[in-house]
Amino acid sequence: MSDSAVVDEDVIAAEVRVFGRVLVILEAFVPENQWLSNSELASLTGLPRSTVARLTSRLSRTGYLEQSAQATRFRLGLNVRKFGSYSMLTTHLMVLVRHCFQDVVEPAKAVLRVYRLEGATMRLLEALTPKINLVAASPIDEMLAVSTSDAGIAVLANLTETQMGSILAQDAKVENWRVAEVFARVNDAKDQIRQKGFYSAIGRGYPTVNSVTTVLVVHECDECYAFHLAGPETEFVVDRMNFEFGPLLTMATKKLAGELGLGAWLTGEVRAHE
């Protein structure tokens, strides 16, 4: 074996060790540990504090970690998506969702469901319930068809016609005779979002259930998230939906967009790309 081959193997081995340490650090950020200091990371990972400090500095510069205002603690950054695994990012996002939306579910006494668009389906990531849980939550990872769910219609209302057509072509539940119906619902959602910033659905899917939905798009990865607040028609009357629950949901979604940074935008605020 040549000297150059030995050197190459040594370099590769060193890079693998660094990558392994990076993963160990990133995986330390779980829901109960949203913000961590170098000392806490060293304790949780077993790595030397000097190694942790060097890696967190590099990860912060490259966007995989975000530093607190005091520059003493870290949390996951948006570039963590580039690892191709949703586990760390979803943990980060759900921590922020609980922080931003708990004040919405309490007065509504309803469930807030967080969905992500995946192909032609909406995957349930989280079901946030009131602290005094008066309602049943859906099982996590529940999948809904885009074309038949209020959350899906709200997401379609934020896409271009080309994007929407591509998604509907994958949706086995959309038969030719139903395309016009879906487009009518999407156009209604677009009008509502332009006027109010959120989409209200009266008795859609379940005759006795009404809902309001906002959508957040994260540019860096072309992901759409829907925040769907639903409740019984006795509580979710039109006036409360339009003047209480919808505005509360919109404010919470704006707060989340701010936490995520400039790579996110809200329904109703950016339409120029269409």
CATH number at residue 196: 3.30.450.40
d(CA 204, CA 195): 20
Residues 6+ away with beta carbon under 8 Å from 225: 93, 114, 115, 116, 117, 125, 215, 216, 217, 218
Strand residues in the chain grouped as ranges (E): 65-67, 74-76, 111-118, 121-128, 143-145, 199-202, 209-218, 223-232, 264-266
Structure-model confidence comparison of residues 18 and 248, the more confident one: 248
Contact in structure between 80 and 90 (CB atoms under 8 Å): no
Residue 199: per-residue pLDDT: 96
Task: Give me the residue label for tokens 């922080």.
Answer: 99
CA angle 233, 237, 239 (to 5 degrees): 170
- Same-domain check for residues 183 and 61: no
Of 48, 115, 106, 119, which is closest to residue 231 (Cα–Cα)?
106
Q: Are residues 164 and 115 in the same domain?
A: yes
Q: Whole-number mean pLDDT of the chain?
A: 81
| Predicted confidence band of residue 113 (pLDDT cuts 50, 70, 90) | very high
Confidence of residue 133 (pLDDT cuts 50, 70, 90): low
Structural domain contains residue 272: no
Position 185 pLDDT exceeds 50: yes
Tell me what pLDDT residue 138 has.
57
pLDDT of residue 268: 53
Q: What is the per-residue pLDDT across 156-176, written as a single tens digit (0 to 9) for each?
A: 998 888 888 888 888 766 766
Distances (CA, A) of 215 to 51, 81, 219, 224, 244: 40, 19, 13, 7, 18
Bigger pLDDT: 98 vs 47: 47
Q: What is the pLDDT of residues 87-104, one digit of tens each?
A: 666 666 777 787 789 889
From the list 186, 194, 202, the residue with the least C-alpha distance to 240 is: 202
What per-residue confidence (pLDDT) applies to 7? Answer: 47
Q: What's the pLDDT tens digit per position in 202-252?
A: 886 566 889 999 999 876 446 789 999 998 888 899 999 999 999 999 999
Total domain count, the chain? 2
End-to-end, the C-alpha distance of the chain in Å comes to: 59
Give the span between the Cα atoms of 83 and 146, in whole angstroms.
27
Higher pLDDT, 105 or 132: 105
CA-nearest of 97, 133, 99, 111 to 245 is 111
We report the CATH number of the domain holding residue 55 as: 1.10.10.10
Residue 38 and residue 54 in contact, taking contact as beta carbons nearer than 8 Å: no
Segment 252-266 shows an average pLDDT of 73
179 with 203, same domain: the answer is: yes
Q: Is the dihedral of CA 141, 146, 149, 153 positive or negative?
A: positive
Mean pLDDT check: name the lowest of 4-8, 68-72, 97-101, 230-234: 4-8
* Domain stops at, among 49, 76, 103: 76
Q: Span 20-36, mean pLDDT?
A: 82
> Is 273 domain-assigned?
no
Q: What local confidence, expressed as pLDDT, does residue 256 receive?
A: 86
Domain boundary, last residue among 58, 76, 94: 76
pTM reported for the whole predicted model: 0.69
Residue 226's DSSP bridge partners are 115, 215
Mean pLDDT on 31-40: 83
Do 61 and 111 have their domain in common? no
